[in-house]
Amino acid sequence: MGIRFLLITLLFWQGIHSFSQGIETQRKYGFEQGTGFTAFIEKGGEMNGFSLIHHSDLTYFDLYFDTPNFDLAEKGYSLRMRKKEDGEGGFAYVFQLKSEMETTNGVRMEVEETELDFYYLFHKDLKIDLARFLDLLFAEMQALKVTGTAVNYQPYLDELAQWIEFKAGAPLVPFQKLHFLLPDLFSIEGIQKLRPVLIGQSVRSRSHIYLKAENSLEKTGEILINKTIESETPEFFKTNPKACWLFESSLDESVFYPLFPSSLKSVQLWEYEVENKFPSSEKSVALMNEFEAHLKAKYGIFNTLNSKYLQSILAFRE
């Protein structure tokens, strides 16, 4: 086992630059219903020189994993498989490990595996890829949401448990990172204990927050330009080159269901998140502070730290 994990660790460090992983700088907020905040985000407009344009509504499906003792939640991490609309009429699939936010300035670790159609498992004795398996599982969840009819998740959970036990020693990025961060808890045997614990759906209203050239000059004394590579530049900023992209924001309305015994059948959450997209950290922090202050003054939003996963787990385990 030691030699096996040594090999995995070497593979992890050898390939670290090719893996999709990084640090997110973001802030999370809660808000009270009925303040007009939701309407502002969905309609867009301008507030104290900051411009906001709503550009898409996307649906996300999440399946979270943890140990029977909820070690990940206790240590400040979440592990999920996600199916999300890609904004182009299709779906993308990802297996992600994320850290909880420790401060309201929100620096979070994230690593992910994206080629889920590369992995296979058996569902009802048929060999299907992991992405297709998630399609079937989330379809069951949607049926529950629409009809209220109980879903027998157990066959899916058992099949996923078998897949995890088989793949625990494989070079999947989230598993490798877990072993690196928490080696005492997540040896191969520790990873094999992971089980699905939470399933849910979110509708995400996404917006760009930017400065027009004249507002940029007024706020900073210079005209700011966000120089991103063309493939990462949203279409709006390609057609409006004088607009400086500051932040990406998302307003989530989510519902989650427990996959373990709980007195609650579901939890509904609302969350607003702002993520930095401007390369200068000093300028972006100052502008984010200003944007936040205006939102608090007008709509009464407030800073939060806990992820939707941790909020749900705390509610379901009460």
Residue 151 has a pLDDT of 80
pLDDT band at 230 (very low <50, low <70, confident <90, very high): confident
Give helix then strand counts, H and E, for the chain: 11, 12
pLDDT band at 5 (very low <50, low <70, confident <90, very high): very low
Residue 21 or residue 215, greater confidence: 215
Count: domains in the chain:
1
Give the other-Cβ count within 10 Å of 314's Cβ: 13
Residue 16 has a pLDDT of 37
- Residues 166-187 have pLDDT tens digits of 999 999 999 999 999 999 999 9
Is 157's pLDDT higher than 50? yes
In this structure, is residue 59 part of a structural domain?
Answer: yes
User: Pick from 84, 79, 81, 85: which is nearest to 110 by CA?
Assistant: 79
In this structure, is residue 183 part of a structural domain?
Answer: yes
Residue 24 has a pLDDT of 52
Beta bridge partners of 98: 78, 110
User: Pick from 114, 150, 116: which is nearest to 133 by CA?
Assistant: 116
- Residues 253-265 have pLDDT tens digits of 999 999 999 999 9
pLDDT band at 142 (very low <50, low <70, confident <90, very high): confident
- Residues 15-54 have pLDDT tens digits of 333 333 445 578 999 998 888 999 999 899 999 999 999 9
pLDDT band at 6 (very low <50, low <70, confident <90, very high): very low
CATH number of the domain where residue 147 is located: 2.40.320.10
Range of lowest pLDDT (80-84, 149-153, 198-202): 149-153
Is 79's pLDDT higher than 60? yes
Say if CB 204 and CB 82 are below 8 A apart.
no
Say if CB 102 and CB 11 are below 8 A apart.
no
In this structure, is residue 74 part of a structural domain?
Answer: yes
Element (H, E) at 144: helix 130-147
- What is the model's pTM? 0.86
The burial of 283, by beta-carbon neighbours within 10 Å (0-12 exposed, 13-18 middle, 19 or more buried), is given as middle
In this structure, is residue 91 part of a structural domain?
Answer: yes
Average pLDDT of every residue of the chain = 88
Coil, strand or helix: which one is 189?
helix
In this structure, is residue 4 part of a structural domain?
Answer: no
Range of the domain at 146: 23-316
Residue 92 has a pLDDT of 96
Residue 263 or residue 318, greater confidence: 263
In this structure, is residue 39 part of a structural domain?
Answer: yes
pLDDT band at 88 (very low <50, low <70, confident <90, very high): confident
Residue 146 has a pLDDT of 73
> Tokens 């059948």 appear where?
265
Quote the radius of gyration of the chain (alpha carbons, Å).
21
In this structure, is residue 284 part of a structural domain?
Answer: yes
CB within 8 Å of 300: residues ≥ 6 apart: 31, 32, 35, 37
In this structure, is residue 55 part of a structural domain?
Answer: yes
